[in-house]
Homo-oligomer: A and B are copies of this chain.
Amino acid sequence: MPNATLKKIAEMLNISISTVSRALKNHPDISDTTRKKVQELAALLEYEPNAYAIHLRTNNSKLFGVILPTVSNYFYHSFIATLEEEVRRFGYSLLILQSGDNASIEQDNIRLCRTNRVAGIFVCITPETKNFTALQKMEEQGVPVIYFDKVPPASETCNKVCMADAEAAKIAAETLVKSGRKKILALFGNPEMSISAKRLDSFNAVFQQQTAAKVTVDYAYSSDEAHQVTLKHFSKKSIPDAVFCMSDEILIGVHKALQEKSVQIPKQTALIAISNGFIPKLFYPEINYVETSGSKLASLCFNRMMSCLAGSSFIQELTVDAVYVKGGSVN
């Protein structure tokens, strides 16, 4: 037995389709008897409205597109998890598309969003993305585009929701200053990426104003590299008394190296990171971190989307504030 339709119910009850439609949505001017009759039969037949027909007719899809590098990343999956929960409460669903940081797949994904007439798009662009015309066109056609995390350069005016990268690095740096640590190793990711650059600049700025501590900056493009780099710095006679990790990826490598070298945290060396919060809490002692929450990012994105849909035409650049979370790895 295939899916029930309004038509089928109407025929079985010998009434018109519109009456059935109205009865099902508790339209005021349907008699109680009819309403009851209809709703009972619908329940019996397990009638479920056809989303395609509704959307076609009303031209109002309850679907958002999400385009991001991959869902398999300790940051993005928490973003997705929260976003899905939020949109569900408003009757929306998510079409989740992975670009794999490939601009051409990203274009395909945008087309898929168009074909599915999504009501809005959340997009985290690839490092290669230079051309924003397809997304701009959607915006012009009334489909809000919310850029998140990795966003277009400042030259593009659009809705952006980002982490407070500079602020987070600043907080971490200041914490280290206050702790009185003197020999600090600071590890960053690919300095070509704006996210690394922002964190680095901000981190350095704090230490330029005071000379009590000496900072060594180094780079690692992966957890494994962070591991190697840390081993190198901790093989000298005088080891750093604090390490700053720009990301979870780096934290993973650093922590492993410290364990391997039997460095006592925080007694010998303090450890602080910028993180989503999951990784720092895996260890004992838990790592102090400045939180950049994928979950909060999702909430902000969603709110911005809803106000765009409600008619706000302002372009906004929002920021998830950085929160310092104490663990047991500093002092």
Taking Cβ atoms with an 8 Å cutoff, the residues of A that contact B are 1-3, 46, 48-53, 55-56, 61, 70-73, 77-78, 80-81, 84-85, 88, 93-98, 100, 111-112, 114-117, 137, 140-141, 252, 255-257, 259-260, 279, 282-284
Q: Is the CB of B71 within 8 A of A81?
A: yes
**Assembled-state Cα–Cα distance A95/B282 (Å):** 31
Q: Is the CB of A61 within 8 A of B52?
A: yes
**Assembled-state Cα–Cα distance A112/B141 (Å):** 27
Given known A50-B56, A98-B81, contact A260–B279 (CB-CB < 8 A): no
16 new A-B pairs (CB below 8 Å) besides A85-B100, A93-B95, A256-B283? A3-B114, A48-B111, A48-B115, A50-B115, A51-B52, A51-B116, A52-B53, A52-B117, A53-B56, A72-B77, A84-B98, A88-B97, A93-B116, A95-B95, A256-B284, A282-B282
**Assembled-state Cα–Cα distance A32/B176 (Å):** 69
- What chain B residues lie within 8 Å of A1 (beta carbons)? 140-141
- What chain B residues lie within 8 Å of A52 (beta carbons)? 51-53, 55-56, 61, 116-117
25 A–B contacts, CB within 8 A, in A order: A2-B141, A3-B117, A48-B115, A49-B115, A50-B117, A51-B116, A52-B56, A52-B61, A52-B116, A53-B56, A56-B56, A72-B78, A73-B77, A77-B77, A84-B96, A85-B98, A94-B95, A96-B96, A252-B282, A255-B282, A256-B282, A257-B284, A259-B283, A259-B284, A279-B282
